[in-house]
Structure 1
Amino acid sequence: MAPYTPSQEELQRRKVVGINLETVDDVTSTDFPGHYAGEDHSWDLDLFRKNLKIQFHHNTQFNASFSVAGIDASVANAFRRILLAEIPTLAIEYVFMNNNTSVIQDEVLAHRLGLVPLKGGRKGLLEFMKWFSKANEEEGTEAGEAFDYNTITLHLQIECTRNPDAAPGETDSNKLYINSAVHASDIVFEPVGRQPEFFSGDDTITVTNPDILIAKLRPGQCIDLDMHAIKGIGADHAKFSPVATASYRLLPTITILKPILGNDAEKFAKCFPKGVIGFEKVTKEEASTPGSGYEGHAGEKKAVVKDTMKDTVSRECLRHEEFQGKVKLGRIRDHFIFSIESTGQWDSDELFLESIKALKQKCVRFKRNLSLMTK
């Protein structure tokens, strides 16, 4: 069979997942060898480089949103799973209770402390800090010893007392008592060994958000404990996950098939989030073009698509009879809009780069092991 080259319109149609009132169409990717007769869909590095597009929408220290177009869903999901579970961070693992007379039980307090995000010097966390060997009951191994290169020591000592300067009749506990609320800012880093070389000044180990409430105390109650923080990954425990959220969604598409004018245009816009649909006036040229659907409507308001990225694909417009056959909804199968919210130990954009490195290392190991299997 002679080679067949599909048109750009056909290629674009194959990339769209159709969104109907209650169903979806064309959800499976078809760009693989053998699916279309006479077409070559074998993977090509040059073609991949040509189609790959990355665009940032906003990028801050704790939150980033960007689009990655030209990759398969399996690759996008691999990045997401690596972000959640395979990038190492620092978190409190062991809590040694010296005294706890608060109303919070020891195990609950220890759990709350483990969920407090920590941050510190990047060089120290990545290069100086090594993995801590934890006990494994199944393998019969015991926990390793704590050293300056695998354990961060933290301390929390606080006691609640009455405020002698409180006004008579005061009811606000923050003014009536001293240290009535224990916050993450009360956790103190105690460097040992070579740790001051890597964790001092702006690089010191501290909490990401000092306002996190850990406990509330009343006069006579106190908390005195020591903590050991170690490196870990989200696959071991969610507290080691470097992201609060890491997700992606497909880019929505909205195609207006027939003119939507006047009051219908305003109603159509209300079916979508603000900014998705805009308005323009029908030009004289459009009104004079036979078959355009705008004949005799010069100067009237018409609905136009402004920004599909803001759409949530609620399908609201498909529920109204006046829009039947006038609009087609879909999603671009290979255009992924990522949203990454960092807990603070990593910058949000750095996290995605780390996920790429991790996936690359997996591919290298797989390729090496595959070559060993053939020998």
Structure 2
Amino acid sequence: MVDTSLRNRVGIEFDRVTNVHSTDFPGYYPGEDHSWNLDKFKESFKINISHLNQESSTFDLIGVDASVANAFRRIMISEIPTLAVEYVYIENNTSIIQDEVLAHRLGLIPLRANPDYLRWFKKDDPNFEPTDYDTVVLKLAVKCTTNAKAPAGTTDPKELYNNAHVYANQIVFEPQGRQEEWFPDGVVPVNPDILVAKLRPGQEIDLTMHCILGIGQDHAKFSPVATASYRLLPTIDIIGEKITGELAEKFKSCFPEGVIGINSSGEAFVKDARKDTVSREVLRHPEFNGRVRLGRQRNHFIFSVESTGAMTPDDIFIKSVQLLKKKAQILRKFNLRD
């Protein structure tokens, strides 16, 4: 009889990590019937959202293989299209920032706009002309002058001069064609307080930006996430005799706050394993040898997605699912041809 109780556990020991191997086909084991069953998959598959707002989200993806979870992560980082500045046409730049550095800074400003209305710009075609269907135009025209009404004795450049600091909120959207209809709220920087440059009287910046669709694998400026990562759910099993009294307090101190609790009878119990960082501190103490088993759940992924603000984290994940589905459909189509 094969013991499958720890099959989905990565073992965490004092000096090594065990059970990290996988089968040639994930979830399939020799001599056992693991034929695909949709109803069985539905029973084990779950998505639990523990945190979600406009900037970040944390959710659990349960019941899939690491290859699937990692596919979602990679797609979120590098394959979801967003809008960013690609071409900068500088009419005048007398600031101390070189043209190419200024263009690079502008390109890295995240823009809030729905990319679904736009088509791909054909950069490789020298005869391709930009249209309202593939290009968004932004304008930045700022000149620094002396503030005649500055308070006497002040040394603050913001009070001494007008437009001493150039911020992202001074970028103006210039709708072309039907773009006013597609982007009723305009195309604006996610954070209006991003500092673009500092000017002094007589200096000015006058330029036009063309924004196009792109993906993170082309350039990081197109990536919709600041970070997208996951970790396996930690598991802590207290085995053997109960841990009580002073030993329970010491046991609790071996883990981050909130992982281990102590009940009214003085017995230690696992309160919230997901808060554990798997430091293995408890394994350093001989009194706990053979009394605790650490691990990670192989098919339980805790995702953390931090958006740049170009789109919400839930939209980013949904788009990653749609893209993975398209990839699978294309692969299936070619396999059917063969």
Query: Radius of gyration: which is bigger?
Result: 1
| Structure 2: runs of 5+ lacking an equivalent | none
Residue deviations 1:217-270, cap 9 Å, x none?
222221111100001111111111111111111000011224333333223222
SS at match of 2:5: helix
Q: Which position in structure 2 is the counterpart of 1:259?
A: 242
Q: Does structure 1 residue 155 correspond to structure 2 residue 148? A: no
2:210 partner letter: H
For residues 4 and 187 of structure 2, what CA distance do their matches in structure 1 show? 52
Match of 1:246 in 2: 228
Deviations 1:274-309 (CA, angstroms, capped at 9, x unpaired): 111111133xxxxxxxxxxxxxxxxxx222111111
- Judge conservation of contact 1:89–1:345 (CA < 8 Å) in 2: yes
2:324 corresponds to which residue? 359
Counterpart pick for 1:146 among 115, 130, 143: 130
Tell me how far 1:34 sits from its aligned partner. 4.4
What is the rounded CA distance, in whole Å, between the counterparts of 2:298 and 2:28 in structure 1? 18
Once the two structures are superposed, residues 318-365 of structure 1 have per-residue CA deviations (whole angstroms, 9 ceiling, x without a partner) of: 223332222211000000111111112221112111111111111111
1:129 aligns with 2:118: yes
2:231 matched to 1:231? no
1:104-161 CA-to-partner distances (Å, cap 9, x unmatched) read 11111111110101012x3xx31x31110003xxxxx426211111100000111222
Residue identity opposite 1:130 in structure 2? R
CA contact (8 A) 1:68 1:336 kept: yes
Count of aligned pairs: 335
The AA in structure 1 aligned to 2:159 is K
4+ long deviations beyond 4 Å: none
Describe the superposition over 1:170-189 as per-residue Cα deviations: whole angstroms up to 9, x where unpaired. 12222222211111111110
Q: Alignment partner of 1:281: what SS?
A: coil
Task: Give TM-score scaled by structure 1 length.
Answer: 0.85
Counterpart Cα distance in 2 of 1:277 and 1:364: 46
2:158 to 147, 166, 174: 174
| Distance in 2 between residues matched to 1:90 and 1:175, nearest whole Å | 35
- 1:346 equivalent to 2:314? Answer no
Task: Tell me the TM-score normalized by structure 2.
Answer: 0.94
CA RMSD of aligned residues (A): 1.7
Q: Tell me how far apart the structure 2 counterparts of residues 211 and 321 of structure 1 sit (CA, whole Å).
A: 54
Q: Name 1:285's counterpart in structure 2.
A: none
User: Structure 1 residues 69 and 143, CA, compared in 2 at 3 Å: closer, same or farther?
Assistant: farther
Q: Which of 298, 301, 307 is the aligned partner of 2:272? A: 307
Q: Does 1:40 align with 2:33?
A: yes
Q: What SS is found at the alignment partner of 1:109?
A: helix
Contact 1:114–1:239 under 8 Å retained in 2: yes
Match among 224, 247, 252 for residue 269 of structure 1: 252
